[in-house]
Amino acid sequence: MTHTLLVLSLMIANRSSAVAADRILIGEVGSLTGAEATFGDSTRKGIDLAITDINAKGGVKGKKLEVKVYDDQGKPEEAATAMTRLIAQDKVTLVLGEVASSRSLAMAPIAERNKIPMITPSSTNPRVTKDGKKVRDFVFRVCFIDPFQGTVMAKFTRKNLKLSKVAILRDVGNDYSMGLADYFTAKFKELGGTIVADESYKAGDQDFKAQLTSLKGKKPEAVFIPGYYTDVALIARQARELNMKQPLLGGDGWESAKLYEIGGSALDNSYFSNHYSTDDPNPKIQNFVKRYKNTYGEVPDSMSALAYDAAMIAAEAMTKAKDLSGEAIRQILASTKGFKGVTGIINIDQDHNAVKPAVVLRIQDKKPHYVTTISP
Amino acid sequence: MSEFLQHLVNGISLGTIYALIALGYTMVYGVLKLINFAHGDVYMVGAFGGFYLAHLLGVNDSPSLPKTLVVFVGSMLICGTLGFLIERLAYRPLRYRPRLTALITAIGISFLLEFGFQLPRWSFMPFDFPPGPTPRFFPELFPRTIWFNIGEVSISNYDALALGVAILFMVGLEFIIYRTKFGVAMRAVSFDPNIAGLMGIPVDRIISGTFILGSVLASVAALLVSISRPRIDPIMGLMPGLKAFVAAVFGGIGNVPGAMVGGLILGLSEEFVAGYMLSSFRDAIAFAILILVLLFRPEGLFGRITTEKV
């Protein structure tokens, strides 16, 4: 039986390598449309830039890299379908994506089952790479995780802003938001702060005034809203309409130019944690920002930067691996140490997470400004 | 106290929106005994109609009152036409078929609009249509200003406009239904379409008119929402549509004042549940109300019990 399977898998391997003799196909799943469309779009652009760079230097193992991308419209079920399609139909070597944790969580078990390495550029929920106590062998990420991100914001609020009363408004249907809110709460309480209220909303809601009014009554000094940018922008507007002047706090889900388009000046004087800052003078970052601007005419957000790093790490792993099998690539990925990415030095730990510092940005005049860096 | 007042203001502004949408459900049910599930999507089209018109007029660069009026009237025309077409093309051919057929068609139209609007842009369209699933930012038609404060509660021109326009349209509707020939005919058709037809009432035209009226109200509701909560997307009509349906049933489906009261009560109860109890139960409450009403008063608050004569 094992023997037959082996022969069969060899035949399949042969067939796919025959199809792709001069190129290596990698897959990408992203929210190119939908409520988080800028996440997918920025990721797409970051990966494209990386692939151009890699191919300009001769590609991987003498072959050009090519990306097959599917849109999931921001829906977990579509992400799962796209993942299956990439693996079964397009026979990709490796998959990059998704940004949102709930979508990556839908894709991770499929990667695992088919032994195809998957690198998520920016999903921060711990369960993406770790299923219960077991680390998913084939799933990696190049960003930090929510326990760290939540801790960073709690530390920052308590120590830098010196606030002690914070209210939380979380998105109940979102793994990312729930995780971040929980880790923030734990750390903030540990540091001697109090959570005066913990309310929830559902992504796509239009009206948040009920929750905000009741939060306002509890007189918090800041409101932590670990959601995605479209909802956050509306929440911020409605909070200001209710005369709430507190700073709002958030995570990397705020990272989008759309946040300022919808929210306008309502977000001024708010803070969010992020993966990197374009204000950083580091030449690696400035060089990336410059080239990205030249190519796309816009400033790269952190989703683009992480996508660039994810594609670069994937290319490096494929180059170093003894062959292009999932298992070989996976082993190299798991041992990544000291990779110099745009978003910092990336070391993959035993849980397949990248260990690196986070930055905190302050929004002023509809633009994010660098405040501080907080290390793990 | 000020928190209670603020909840009250929020609840009323939410409730008037539900009421405006609920009127469309209730009127169509009144004349056709059909639950028009595409109504929430007509509401969505109203928001997008306003969005495109606002961009066409360049509202972003120079907001003004005349432009706002054009956006409102234009969007009402678009929705009125859509309501007319939906009835003419989808429901009229099925009018004498079993009622379930029309109901399923209504769900079909609803899906057609929701997912049709999620398609990528057609290359031959001169503007960005269909809009695709990405939410759009509804431009500011005029700047928001605070009119007056009661304690810590501030009332803006947005709140006042929403309430004023909603009341204006409800009063207008009452006038149409009870003081005009069209209204008399509508009530007659609602009472018995066959007899009304025999009496020389143009039943088809009255039914078309009812759809147009209901769709216009939906577009007004959509614009009032989009002005203060400026994010619109193709499935934005789903929840308000369902909730307005609940409001219509709650007030007694087919009953016009019932739909208004139902909408207000639903808006207020949702607001107070989310504000004072658990915010995650907000939507659950709306549907719990529906179940309770159907259990204890199947005809709704203002509905009449119709006894079947055998």
Of B103, B106, B140, give the one whose Cα is nearest residue B226: B140
In three-state secondary structure terms, B124 is: coil
CA–CA min distance A343, chain B (Å) = 28
ipTM above 0.90, yes or no: no
Q: Indicate the residue of B14, B134, B282 with minimum beta-carbon distance to A37.
A: B134
| Phi then psi dihedrals of residue A32, to 5 deg | -75, -20
CA–CA min distance A211, chain B (Å) = 5
- Whether A214 and B14 lie within 8 Å, measured CB to CB: no
Asked if B63 reaches chain A (Cβ–Cβ under 8 Å), the answer is no
- CB-CB neighbors (< 8 A) of B268 in chain A: none
Identify whether A376 is part of a domain. Answer: no
Q: DSSP strand E in B179-282: where?
A: 231-232
Q: Indicate the residue of B3, B137, B274 with minimum beta-carbon distance to A211.
A: B274
Is the domain of A268 the same as that of A306?
no
Taking residue A252's Cβ as centre, other Cβ atoms within 10 Å add up to 29
Compute the distance between CA of residue A308 and CA of residue A284 in angstroms, rounded to an integer.
12
Looking up tokens 């691996």 gives A321
In three-state secondary structure terms, A311 is: helix
Per-residue model confidence as pLDDT tens digits over A54-75: 999 998 999 999 999 999 988 9
Is the domain of A293 the same as that of A306?
yes
Is the domain of A248 the same as that of A263?
yes
Domain of A174, in residue numbers:
146-274
pLDDT at A192 over 60: yes
Q: Indicate the residue of B228, B240, B274 with minimum beta-carbon distance to A210.
A: B274
Is the domain of A344 the same as that of A231?
no
* CA dihedral of residues B88, B91, B97, B98 (deg, nearest 10): -160
Structure token digits, residue A9: 């898998």
pLDDT one digit per residue (tens) for chain B, 310 residues: 778 888 888 888 889 999 999 999 999 888 888 889 999 999 999 999 999 999 888 877 777 888 889 999 999 999 999 999 999 999 999 988 998 999 999 999 999 999 899 888 888 888 888 888 778 888 888 888 888 777 778 788 888 888 888 889 888 998 999 999 999 999 999 888 889 999 999 999 999 999 999 999 999 999 999 988 888 989 899 889 989 998 998 888 888 889 989 999 899 988 888 888 777 787 887 778 778 877 888 888 887 766 555 5
Q: Name the percent of chain A lying above pLDDT 70.
A: 94
Is the domain of A29 the same as that of A79?
yes
Is the domain of A180 the same as that of A128?
no
Q: Cα separations (Å) of A20 from A24, A58, A90, A97, B251? A: 6, 16, 10, 22, 65
Is the domain of A54 the same as that of A106?
yes
- CB-CB neighbors (< 8 A) of A201 in chain B: 279
Of A274, A300, A326, the residue at which a domain comes to its end is A274
pLDDT at A365 over 50: yes
Q: According to the model, what pLDDT value does residue A3 have? A: 55
Pairing assessment for the beta strands A270-274 and A194-201 based on DSSP bridges: unpaired
When divided into structural domains, chain A yields a total of 2
Identify whether A152 is part of a domain. Answer: yes
Compute the distance between CA of residue A252 and CA of residue A176 in angstroms, rounded to an integer.
10
Greater pLDDT, A9 or B5: B5
Compute the distance between CA of residue A180 and CA of residue A22 in angstroms, rounded to an integer.
44
Q: Domain with A121 in it: what CATH number?
A: 3.40.50.2300
Of A254, A274, A294, the residue at which a domain comes to its end is A274
Greater pLDDT, A366 or B81: B81
Identify whether A307 is part of a domain. Answer: yes
All structural domains of chain B, each given as residue ranges with its CATH number in brackets, are 2-122+150-296 (1.10.3470)
Is the domain of A77 the same as that of A17?
yes
Identify whether A70 is part of a domain. Answer: yes
Q: According to the model, what pLDDT value does residue B310 have? A: 55
Is the Cα torsion angle A361, A363, A365, A371 positive or negative in sign? Answer: negative
Least confident of A161-165, A346-350, B118-122: B118-122
Identify whether A21 is part of a domain. Answer: yes
Of A274, A294, A325, the residue at which a domain comes to its end is A274
Q: According to the model, what pLDDT value does residue B253 have? A: 85
Q: According to the model, what pLDDT value does residue B309 have? A: 55
Q: Indicate the residue of B6, B134, B271 with minimum beta-carbon distance to A33.
A: B134
Asked if B280 reaches chain A (Cβ–Cβ under 8 Å), the answer is yes
Q: According to the model, what pLDDT value does residue B150 have? A: 78
Compute the distance between CA of residue B49 and CA of residue A309 in angstroms, rounded to an integer.
42
Is the domain of A172 the same as that of A257?
yes
| Phi then psi dihedrals of residue A106, to 5 deg | -75, -30
Is the domain of A237 the same as that of A163?
yes
Per-residue model confidence as pLDDT tens digits over B79-135: 999 999 999 999 999 988 998 999 999 999 999 999 899 888 888 888 888 888 778
Q: Which of A31, A70, A206 is the best mutation test for B, with the most CBs of B within 10 A?
A: A206
Q: Indicate the residue of A35, A213, A241 with minimum beta-carbon distance to B3.
A: A213
**Interface size between A and B, measured as CB pairs under 8 A:** 93
Average predicted confidence (pLDDT) for chain A: 89
- Whether B271 and A261 lie within 8 Å, measured CB to CB: no
